[in-house]
Structure 1
Amino acid sequence: MIARKANEEDAARIAEIERAVFSDAWSEDAVRETMCQKTAEIYVAEDRKTIVGYIVIYTVLDESEVVRIAVDAGFRERGTGGFLLDTVISEGALKGTAVWHLEVRKSNMAARALYQKKGFWDVGIRKGFYDNPKEDAVLMTRSLETVSGVQEERDRL
């Protein structure tokens, strides 16, 4: 599996995965518009030249937010989400990102466990944030200064 920055030709496949995963799926046009935003980056995970997952982040100064992450159903439970997170966190460290933020459905225990494994911790609740079904969002943060092994991570880069 490889990770790379998404390009315009990837928008249709990203939107296809969006529709399969999210009740508020982004359209192909919305994906393309995001690609054009100065603060946004989209990375895809490919297996045998097929996009099997993606992650969307926004970065302002030294803070980044994971706004979307999704994996094709046939490639879940194989480490694809963790691979994408590791990719953007490593790329972010090279660019000086010190703090990461994300929101996740309170009931999405698999995603929350992955984020905790990657050094994120719960910092708050956003009541009624999600629709279809209505649900709270757990706000999570990861700071390079408080994650164990930070110096090793920086030295490795």
Structure 2
Amino acid sequence: MFTVRQIEESDIEKIAALEQQIFPDGWSHEAVRDTYRQDNSVLFGAFDSGKLIGYLIVYYVLDEGEIARIAVEKGSRRQGAAGHMLLKLENFCEEKGITKLMLEVRESNEAAAAFYKDYGFEEDGIRKGYYADPAEDAVLMSRRLGR
């Protein structure tokens, strides 16, 4: 079984490595490190026997948060890690007074969109040409917390 906790600086390299494996436009080690060091960001990781298998990156300002990344390595998907990270994020949001979460998802990523809908996110619109490599529109989604 896995555990979820806030990311520590020693985890940054592992996140950057997963970024390169999972995303065609993966963030560099420096980008992950810079995000980690920002006052308005929080990163959570899912660990299986001490090994990082997934992570969640969120930026927040006042009462709104934006999920920038949520990812689980291919061999560990559909086992609940992403859902557990979202639950940890909800607890964090409650502590910080964050009442709305937002995100973008590739229009073709039907599995991710279905996952977000299962967790109460609703479609808000389309952002044309948001993604590159390959070029694609983004579906904007959001969820109110604390209802």
- TM (normalized to structure 1)? 0.89
- After TM superposition, list the pairs within 5 Å mapping 1:77-92 onto structure 2: 77-92=78-93
Gaps of 5+ in 2: none
Q: Within 2, Cα distance between the matches of 1:83 and 1:110?
A: 17
Identity %, equivalent residues:
43
Gaps of 5+ in 1: 151-157
Deviation at 1:112, TM superposition (A): 0.5
Instruction: Give a deviation string over 1:66-110, Cα, whole Å, max 9, x none.
Output: 001111111011111111112102221222111110000011111
Q: Which residue is 1:103 aligned to? A: 104
Q: Which residue is 1:37 aligned to? A: 38
Instruction: Give a deviation string over 1:92-149, Cα, whole Å, max 9, x none.
Output: 122211111000001111111111111100001001111111111000010126xxxx
Q: Which residue is 1:6 aligned to? A: 7
Q: Within 1, Cα distance between the matches of 2:76 and 2:96?
A: 29
- After TM superposition, list the pairs within 5 Å mapping 1:116-135 onto structure 2: 116-135=117-136
Q: Within 2, Cα distance between the matches of 1:86 and 1:19?
A: 25
Q: Which residue is 2:94 aligned to? A: 93
Instruction: Give a deviation string over 1:47-72, Cα, whole Å, max 9, x none.
Output: 10000000000110111010011111
Aligned residues: 146
Q: Which moved more, 1:73-82 or 1:118-127?
A: 73-82
SS for the counterpart of 1:59 is strand
Q: Within 2, Cα distance between the matches of 1:90 and 1:3?
A: 12
- TM (normalized to structure 2)? 0.95
Q: Within 2, Cα distance between the matches of 1:109 and 1:80?
A: 18
Q: Which residue is 1:68 aligned to? A: 69
Runs (4+) of structure 1 exceeding 6 A deviation are: none
Q: Within 1, Cα distance between the matches of 2:52 and 2:129?
A: 32
Q: Within 1, Cα distance between the matches of 2:9 and 2:31?
A: 11
Q: Within 1, Cα distance between the matches of 2:87 and 2:137?
A: 26
